Chain A
Amino acid sequence: MLKVQNLHKQFGGVKAVNHCSFEVEEGSITGLIGPNGAGKTTTFDLISGLMKPTEGHIHIKGEDVTTWPAHKRARAGIGRTFQAIRIFPEMKAIDNIIVAFPKHPDKLRDVFTPTRKKREQLKVKAMKLLKDVGIADKAHLNAGDLSYGQKKLLEIARAVATGADFIMLDEPAAGINLTLLNQIRDYILKLNKEGKTFFIVEHNMQFIMDISDKVVVMDQGKEIAIGKPEEIQNNPRVIEAYLGKKKE
C-alpha cells in the first residue's frame, strides 16, 4: 500500500527525517512509534504531501506520488488526522463530514445546476458516519463546541468520509479517557475489517502494541526497528531509544 524509500527531510541543519525506509502492507494496521522529535509527524506530513521531501520517494499503491500536491494524494486515497486536531470549528459537525465526501458537488460549475438530491443523499451518509462514531446527536452543533474527544471522533470520521483506503492517524489515543479510547479502537478494527489500511502514530504503548500488526520504530529521523509488536518490545535498540543507554 505504502512504500517509503530513503525518505529525507532537512530543515537547515536539522535532519527531521533521515534516509528513512519502510513499508505498510495493504489491509494492515501499522504502528509508528518513537521518542518525541523522532520525525513521526514530519513523516506523516511528507506522506500526505503537506511537505516536500529533500530526497527519497513515496509510493502509494505502486504509484510514485513524491511530486504530487496534497489534494491529489488525498484523492488517490490517503486520509489523515492531525496531532493538534484540525476540524472546521465554525461549521456544523455534519458539514465537516459532508465537505469531505468525494461526491460533494463543490465545483464552481455545480453552483447553478440542481444538486439538491445529491446533497440530501450526502446528508444521510454523513449522519450514518456520525452515528458510527457515536456523535450523531451533535450533528448540528458547531464543531468547535464539541468536547475534545468528540472532536477527535469527528476528525477520524471526516478522514473516513474522504473515501480513503489508507488512513493515517496522528496520536488518536492522546488525551482521551479509556472508554473513548476503546471506542476508537473498536472503530479502527471495524474499518480495518472492511478493508481499510491504517498507519498510526501513538505514544500509548499498550494501545499501539495491542492494535498493530506491525510496528515501525523511528529515532532521530531514521527507522531503527520494524517488526511484530512482540519483537519490537524486546528489541534492545528500541529499549535504548526510549529508556536511554545503560551506563557501563
Chain B
Amino acid sequence: MFEIFTNTNYLLGFFNNVAFLILLGLSLNIIMGYVGYLNLGHVGFWAIGSYTYTILLMQGHDFFVCLFAGAIAAAIAGLILGLPTLKLRSHYIGIASLGFTYIVHSLSLNLTDITRGPLGIPGIPRPTIFGISFQPNHMYFLLSWAVTIVSGIIIYRLLHSPWGKILETIREDQVAAKTLGKNIFLYKIQAFIISAFFAGIAAGIYSSFYQYIGGTNSFFIPQLLLLLTIVMLGGAGSFWGSVVGAVIVWIMYEGVRFLPIEAGLVGPVQQATYASVLVLIMIFRPRGIMGKNVKILQK
C-alpha cells in the first residue's frame, strides 16, 4: 500500500494538484480574507479561465498567450460580477456570486458548440515552450510550480502593500474606511478583478495538468466547497494560511484513497471529508489555523 509514496508519478501528480489549489486558494483569500466578502463565484472564474485557456491552446496559440487570455477573461468576469454587486453587503454578494457560479456551470453544460457540454474537452495538450516539452509529469511539475510561485510572489506583494492594508480596513470596518477618505468601492473592484485574474491563471495550469476539463460534475458546488475549505481551514486573511490549507486539504483528499472502503465510495467520501472539515472549522475555529477574525463571515 505504501509503495505509492515511492511512485514518482503519483507524487508529481499530488504536487501538481497542490500547486494550482494554492493559487486558487490565495486568489479567493484576497476577497474572503482581506476584503472580507463572501465570494461563492470563484469557481465561475476558474471555469471561465479554463475554457478560455483550453480553447485557445487547442487552436495552437502560444502557452503564455493562452494562460494570460484565460486570466484576462476571468478578470473581465470579475469586473462584470463585481460592478453591480460590490455596493451590496457581504451576505447579498454571497448569494449573487453563488448565482454566478450556477450561471457559468449551466453555460458550460449547454453551450455545446464551445464547451462540448457534459462531454467536456479531452486531449488538452501540455505546452512546449522555447522548444522544451512540458508534456512529462516532472516537467509539468516544474512549470506549474513556477507559475504558482511567480503568481504567489505578486499576490504576496499586493496583500502586504499599503494597498492591501486598505483592503483589510474594508474587512474590519468599511464605514470607518470611508470616513478616512478611501474610495472603498474602487478598492473592492480592483481586488475582485485581481482575484479573478489569478483564478484564471490557476485555471490554465489546472487544465493542462488534467488534460481534460468539463463534465457534469466539474466547476460546481464540490469544487466551490473545496476552495472554501482551503481558505477557511488555513485561515482567511493569512497568505500562508491558504498555502497550508491547500496542502492539508489535498493530503486529506488523497488520504481517503487509502481507507479500506469500496472504490466506488472514494469520491463521495472525499467530498464528505472536506465538507465536514469546513463545517467543523466554522463551528470550532472560524479563524482557521492562522487566519484573522473575519466579522462579516461569522455574523
Interface residues of A, Cβ cutoff 8 Å to B:
48-50, 69-72, 74-75, 78-80, 82, 86-91, 95, 98-100, 102, 104-108, 110-112, 115, 119, 144, 158, 162
B contact residues, range: 20 to 34
- Closest Cβ neighbor of B170 among chain A residues: A88
Contacts of A110 in B (CB 8 A): 161-163
Q: Which residues of A contact B168 (CB under 8 A)?
A: 88, 90-91
| Residues of B with C-beta under 8 A to A91 | 165, 168-169, 172
Complex contacts, A100 vs chain B, CB 8 Å: 180
Q: Which of B149-167 contact A (CB under 8 A)?
A: 157-158, 161-163, 165-166
Does B172 lie within 8 Å of A89, measured CB to CB? yes
Task: Output the least CB separation between B296 and chain A (Å).
Answer: 12
The answer to the question of B298 belonging to the interface, with a C-beta cut-off of 8 Å to chain A, is: no
User: Is B137 positioned at the interface, with any CB of A under 8 Å from its CB?
Assistant: no
Contact: B179 with A48, CB < 8 Å?
Answer: yes
B271 beta carbon closer than 8 Å to chain A: no
Q: What B residues does A50 contact at CB under 8 A? A: 175, 178-179
B163 lies within 8 A of A99 (CB): no
Given contacts A50-B179, A74-B178, A100-B180, 4 further A-B contacts (CB under 8 A): A80-B179, A91-B169, A104-B165, A106-B166
Asked if B176 and A88 sit within 8 Å, CB to CB, the answer is yes
The answer to the question of B292 belonging to the interface, with a C-beta cut-off of 8 Å to chain A, is yes
A99 touches B181 (CB 8 A): no
Contact of A88 among B162, B163, B172, B190 (CB under 8 A): B172
Is A112's CB under 8 angstroms from B157's CB?
yes
Q: Is the CB of A108 within 8 A of B190?
A: yes
**Most A Cβ at <10 Å: residue of B166, B176, B182:** B176
Q: Are A106 and B173 in contact, with the CB atoms below 8 A? A: no
Q: Does B184 touch A at the CB level, under 8 Å?
A: yes
| A88 and B181 contacting across the interface, CB-CB below 8 Å | no
B contact patch SS: helix
B237 cross-chain contacts in A, Cβ below 8 A? 90
Task: Say yes or no for B135: interface residue by CB 8 A criterion.
Answer: no
Residues of A within 8 A of B163 (CB): 106-108, 110-111
Kindly list chain A residues whose C-beta atoms are within 8 Å of the C-beta of B172. Answer: 87-91
Q: Which of A69, A72, A87 contacts B173 (CB 8 A)?
A: A87
Q: Is B183 an interface residue (CB 8 A)?
A: yes
Bound CA span A91–B157, Å? 18
User: How many Å lie between the Cα of A111 and that of B161 in the bound state?
Assistant: 6
- Residue numbers in B under 8 Å from A119 (CB-CB): 162
B183 contact set on A, CB distance < 8 A: 69, 71
A105 touches which of B162, B180, B182, B293 (Cβ 8 Å): B162
The answer for the CA separation of A72 and B182 in the assembled complex, in Å, is 8
5 of the cross-chain contacts (CB-CB < 8 Å) are A50-B178, A99-B162, A105-B162, A110-B162, A110-B163
Q: Which residue of A lies closest to B171 (CB)?
A: A90
Closest chain B residue to A79 by CB distance?
B179
Smallest CB–CB gap between A85 and chain B, Å? 9
With a 10 A CB-CB cut-off, give which of A49, A71, A74, A115 has the most chain B CB atoms: A71
Task: Determine the chain A residues whose CB is within 8 A of the CB of B166 once the complex forms.
Answer: 99, 106
| Complex: chain B residue closest to A115, CB-CB | B162
Q: Whole-angstrom distance between the alpha carbons of A95 and B158 in the complex? A: 16
The distance from the CB of B174 to the nearest CB of chain A, in whole angstroms, is 10
Residues of A within 8 A of B158 (CB): 111
Note all chain A residues with C-beta closer than 8 A to B173.
86-88
Q: How many angstroms between the C-alpha atoms of A48 and B175 in the bound complex?
A: 11
Q: Residue A71 contacts which of B161, B165, B178 (CB distance < 8 angstroms)?
A: B178
Interface hits, B170-224 → A, CB 8 Å: 171-173, 175-184, 190
Name which residue of chain B comes closest to A88, CB basis.
B172
Cross-chain contact B179 with A70 (CB below 8 angstroms) = yes
A87 touches B176 (CB 8 A): yes
| A163 smallest CB distance to B (angstroms) | 9
Min distance, Cβ A88 to any Cβ of chain B, angstroms: 4
Whether A158 pairs with B180 at a CB distance below 8 angstroms is: yes
Q: Which residues of A contact B184 (CB under 8 A)?
A: 71
User: Is the CB–CB distance between A74 and B181 below 8 Å?
Assistant: yes
Bound together, the chains give a CA A74 to CA B178 distance in angstroms of 8
